[in-house]
């Protein structure tokens, strides 16, 4: 029930706790669902869970690559996705090109806010 709670902070906390406590459940499905959540705290919890538990799957890899190029994703989300991809996933040439370009974008943003936003 907590995974579908109306409050994104409750959902985010439940993702982190379930990914740590439930070693026999389907962590991949839980974390994949978190990556697709509409609220950033839940997506960030999903990224933290994937990084901590080293969960791997083709569909998570696809979402991580999509996060890199998502103008609505925060710099933190994009950086976490890049880190996970670098650490845990082999990339094809095409995927590496996306990765390289996105990492360059994230690095150029620094602390200037979300991708797609103009610094003040």
Q: What are the tens digits of pLDDT across the range 6-55?
A: 778 888 988 877 777 766 667 899 899 999 999 999 999 999 999 988 88
The 3-state DSSP composition of the chain as helix, strand, coil percent (nearest 5) reads: 70, 0, 30
pLDDT at 118: 32
pTM for this structure? Answer: 0.79
Q: Name the strand (E) or helix (H) holding 109.
A: helix 93-109
């Amino acid at each position: 029930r907590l995974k579908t709670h109306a409050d994104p902070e409750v959902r985010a906390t439940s993702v982190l706790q379930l990914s740590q406590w439930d070693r026999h459940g389907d962590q991949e499905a839980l974390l994949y669902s978190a990556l697709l959540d509409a609220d950033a705290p839940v997506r960030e919890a999903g990224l933290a869970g994937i990084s901590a538990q080293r969960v791997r799957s083709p569909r998570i890899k696809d979402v991580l690559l999509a996060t890199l190029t998502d103008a609505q994703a925060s710099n933190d989300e994009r950086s976490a996705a890049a880190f996970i991809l670098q650490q845990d996933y082999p990339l094809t040439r095409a995927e590496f090109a996306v990765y390289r370009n996105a990492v360059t974008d994230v690095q150029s943003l620094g602390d200037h806010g979300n991708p797609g936003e103009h610094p003040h």
